[in-house]
Chains A and B, each alone.
Chain A
């Protein structure tokens, strides 16, 4: 027995020595390479600056900065949410001429120190820009931004950048409530078709919505969807259930089935799995999806899907960093930037005239004639809303600090990229969450 332990001890010693050995090697090597990289980037910087100030040469003449980008994903391509980011990222890289040696994708990175480590490793591998896709990554991205000031960290859907004031830490989101509104029109048209065909009465036009958390992003999403439907089908009501998770296939499926049993004749969702679309297909109930087309999971029930196209944002950041410019740290994508999209309309399920109705509203939204959260179109506790302090600044108090209503509508995603519309409007019933 003693012999055995002696052997193992020596083994452990050898192993730990070996570990120290590699350790030392990398220590000596690593600083050299980083230094070299530093000086080259600095050199590039100064040349660009020089070119700018002295000759005002066109940007193409200045040597473009070597760009490497990284993307950190919470899940992988099996989640519709992450897939949407992966698609946008790959599209942007292709458009910006970045091949596989110039981008890194890390999937299944949790909202823990793992996210910081993944970001730091990307910096080690030469990334000048690191993107992350999940709300909970933001604190760890912020920590990385403080430790690596030369690299730009963009945390999608986060809310810290608005108040943090760091040049290299950015948040971004899109005015997806406009896309939700358009998708809501498709839902309303479908309800009208059901009423006209006598399948349901006008009073039975009840929709169901499977949400993740009672968070502003979700509230803003289901409210705009509801208002879109209401703009064409005035008698519509909606029930909302929450799963308490961004990705829980079973809970989303069960939530959708519960809503269907409650008499909801159309379902939409803000959660990332195929749970709700699958439940709809099994029960033959029309579904308005999110994050991208889910027609494959529901060929007979899928109507349309709203989606944030992240490619324009990625291209904007990559181009800005390449040119040596400063990235907008609180960026909002819109219909105009191509960030708000509707994925394929399933004409065999959608009501007649849906495409035209969506197109008309699309144009009005783009021209600024139509506002989704127009106070003339909704009430809270039976009263029209004339003033509302939204919690825009992340000061840790969760109290309203910014007047969001002006010119007759709620200004969503204008004072900060992350959504802050969290009013509980009439016509929508929350089944399982008490806002006290």
Chain B
């Protein structure tokens, strides 16, 4: 009776109208932009509107920038899609970076070692299989350990990234050109052997089309296939899964092979489709950024198009600010951080409702 309701108490929202949740997200973006503008003016004395204009220019300024934007979105989305089946199963695959890097390594190994020995079409086919298999193997190892001995997959997949980086560093020294330079240059620059063909004159369109198709496939796989259903059940409760006769170990291993194979595909696209080289940083942390892409979109492949656009757009905007205002790239990263903080933070307001204590008079009633 004397129990006083606290000033603020939080309740979980069970069902929020879609329009409402979109409004909350929009509000978060607007507040984030205002805060960024304020910080920009205080710290650098620049007009925030000009800074925003420059950010947009960084992604849409020229036709070339739009294509680069789409290419970067595709690469990030590809790894994001690879994580979806694993994450739905509550298998926290943080090894996307390493799995993609192993894909790059396998593809470049084929391009270097088989150059001139097989026809170009055969080389592309071999390197594709090799890259996808390499990614799958890199994911299969932690999956086996998880299925057999219930090891912690988060740590295991994370550590596998560093192992992959070191293996790649070793092979860079084997293949470096000239000797000792620590750089292997563009592979097959003169012959272009093993390079994915350009569609017309566009070097990135093929990558973009492949990832677009992949988005549809993952959507259908997760929503309408038996495998997708099994993954969802295992993710909800392993016991339930066992009870209804799903072989949990089999699902874990099968799903991780799929997840790793798709990361390997991303590595293949990065190596044979775009960069035609191998460096330890070629994946550029996308395996980790993709975690954010997948989470923000609640693992929905179509929403992930939007979230990966958002993250790539912010990253490219940060670079553009650094170039056009002679600021260090770190400043752009600060703005990106602020925007992400608000976007992630607003999920709280979508999932929970804040109730303020009603006035005394009303309470007395």
Listed in ascending order, the chain A residues whose CB lies under 8 Å from chain B are 3-5, 7-9, 11-12, 15, 19, 22-23, 26-27, 30, 76-77, 100, 104-108, 110-113, 117, 120-121, 124, 135-136, 138-140, 142-143, 159, 212-216, 218-219, 244-246, 391, 394, 396, 398, 422
Complex Cα gap A8–B219 (Å) = 13
Contact A139 B64 (CB under 8 A): no
The stretch of B87-95, B122-130, B298-306 that contacts the partner chain? B298-306
Complex Cα gap A3–B21 (Å) = 13
Contact A135 B177 (CB under 8 A): no
Complex Cα gap A120–B302 (Å) = 31
A364 to chain B, nearest CB (A): 31
Contact B66 A136 (CB under 8 A): no
The stretch of B156-164, B251-259, B277-285, B353-361 that contacts the partner chain? B277-285
Complex Cα gap A219–B179 (Å) = 12
Q: Mark B150-180, 1 if CB is under 8 A from A, else 0.
A: 0000000000000000000100010001111
Q: Take A5-B300, A112-B282 as given contacts and tell me if A124 and B64 are in contact as well, using a CB distance cutoff of 8 Å.
A: yes
Complex Cα gap A31–B187 (Å) = 31
Does any Cβ of A come within 8 Å of B275's Cβ? yes
Given contacts A107-B328, A139-B186, 18 further A-B contacts (CB under 8 A): A7-B22, A8-B306, A12-B302, A19-B70, A22-B60, A107-B323, A110-B281, A112-B277, A117-B68, A121-B62, A121-B64, A139-B277, A143-B189, A213-B182, A215-B181, A244-B173, A245-B182, A246-B182
Q: Which residues of A are found within 8 Å of B14, using beta-carbon distances?
A: none
Complex Cα gap A208–B137 (Å) = 43
Does any Cβ of A come within 8 Å of B2's Cβ? no
Q: Which residues of A are found within 8 Å of B120, using beta-carbon distances?
A: none
Contact A111 B323 (CB under 8 A): no
Determine the main DSSP class of A at the interface with B: helix
Q: Which residues of A are found within 8 Å of B70, using beta-carbon distances?
A: 19
Complex Cα gap A113–B68 (Å) = 10
Listed in ascending order, the chain B residues whose CB lies under 8 Å from chain A are 18, 22, 60-66, 68, 70, 169, 173, 177-183, 185-186, 189, 274-277, 279, 281-282, 284, 300, 302-303, 305-306, 309, 319, 322-323, 326, 328-329
Q: Which residues of A are found within 8 Å of B275, using beta-carbon distances?
A: 112-113
Q: Of B60, B178, B282, B322, which contacts A216 at CB under 8 A?
A: B178
Contact A113 B178 (CB under 8 A): no
Q: Take A11-B306, A76-B329 as given contacts and tell me if A212 and B182 are in contact as well, using a CB distance cutoff of 8 Å.
A: yes
Q: Take A106-B323, A120-B64, A136-B185 as given contacts and tell me if A398 and B279 are in contact as well, using a CB distance cutoff of 8 Å.
A: no
Complex Cα gap A218–B179 (Å) = 12
Contact B302 A121 (CB under 8 A): no
Q: Which residues of B are found within 8 Å of A159, using beta-carbon distances?
A: 178
Q: Which residues of B are found within 8 Å of A212, using beta-carbon distances?
A: 182
Q: Which residues of B are found within 8 Å of A391, using beta-carbon distances?
A: 178
B113 to chain A, nearest CB (A): 15
B216 to chain A, nearest CB (A): 12
Q: Which residues of B are found within 8 Å of A246, using beta-carbon distances?
A: 182
B144 to chain A, nearest CB (A): 32
Q: Take A12-B302, A23-B66, A142-B189 as given contacts and tell me if A104 and B181 are in contact as well, using a CB distance cutoff of 8 Å.
A: no
Q: Take A11-B306, A104-B323, A107-B329 as given contacts and tell me if A117 and B182 are in contact as well, using a CB distance cutoff of 8 Å.
A: no
Complex Cα gap A113–B189 (Å) = 13
Contact A107 B302 (CB under 8 A): no
Q: Take A110-B281, A215-B179 as given contacts and tell me if A8 and B189 are in contact as well, using a CB distance cutoff of 8 Å.
A: no
Complex Cα gap A100–B326 (Å) = 10
B186 to chain A, nearest CB (A): 4
Q: List 20 A-B contacts (CB under 8 A).
A: A7-B22, A23-B63, A26-B66, A27-B63, A100-B326, A106-B319, A107-B323, A110-B279, A112-B282, A117-B68, A121-B62, A136-B279, A142-B186, A143-B189, A213-B182, A214-B179, A214-B180, A216-B180, A245-B182, A422-B180
A311 to chain B, nearest CB (A): 19
Q: Take A7-B18, A135-B183, A214-B180 as given contacts and tell me if A111 and B303 are in contact as well, using a CB distance cutoff of 8 Å.
A: no
Contact A244 B182 (CB under 8 A): yes
Complex Cα gap A26–B68 (Å) = 14
Q: Take A138-B185, A215-B181 as given contacts and tell me if A76 and B328 are in contact as well, using a CB distance cutoff of 8 Å.
A: yes
Complex Cα gap A110–B186 (Å) = 13
Q: Which residue of B lies closest to A398 (CB)?
A: B179
Complex Cα gap A130–B316 (Å) = 21
A416 to chain B, nearest CB (A): 11
Complex Cα gap A213–B281 (Å) = 18
Q: Which residue of A lies closest to B305 (CB)?
A: A12
Complex Cα gap A311–B193 (Å) = 39
Contact A3 B186 (CB under 8 A): no
Q: Which residues of A are found within 8 Å of B328, using beta-carbon distances?
A: 76-77, 107
Q: Of B18, B66, B180, which contacts A3 at CB under 8 A?
A: B18
Q: Take A8-B300, A8-B303, A15-B309 as given contacts and tell me if A26 and B177 are in contact as well, using a CB distance cutoff of 8 Å.
A: no
Contact A112 B279 (CB under 8 A): yes
Complex Cα gap A15–B68 (Å) = 17
Q: Which residues of B are found within 8 Å of A120, using beta-carbon distances?
A: 64
Contact B64 A215 (CB under 8 A): no
Contact A213 B180 (CB under 8 A): yes
Complex Cα gap A138–B177 (Å) = 12
Determine which residue in A110, A391, A396, A422 has the highest number of CB atoms from chain B within 10 A of its CB, and name it: A110
B18 to chain A, nearest CB (A): 5
Determine which residue in B182, B279, B305 has the highest number of CB atoms from chain A within 10 A of its CB, and name it: B182
A261 to chain B, nearest CB (A): 26
Contact B329 A140 (CB under 8 A): no
Q: Take A107-B322, A111-B279, A143-B189 as given contacts and tell me if A12 and B306 are in contact as well, using a CB distance cutoff of 8 Å.
A: yes
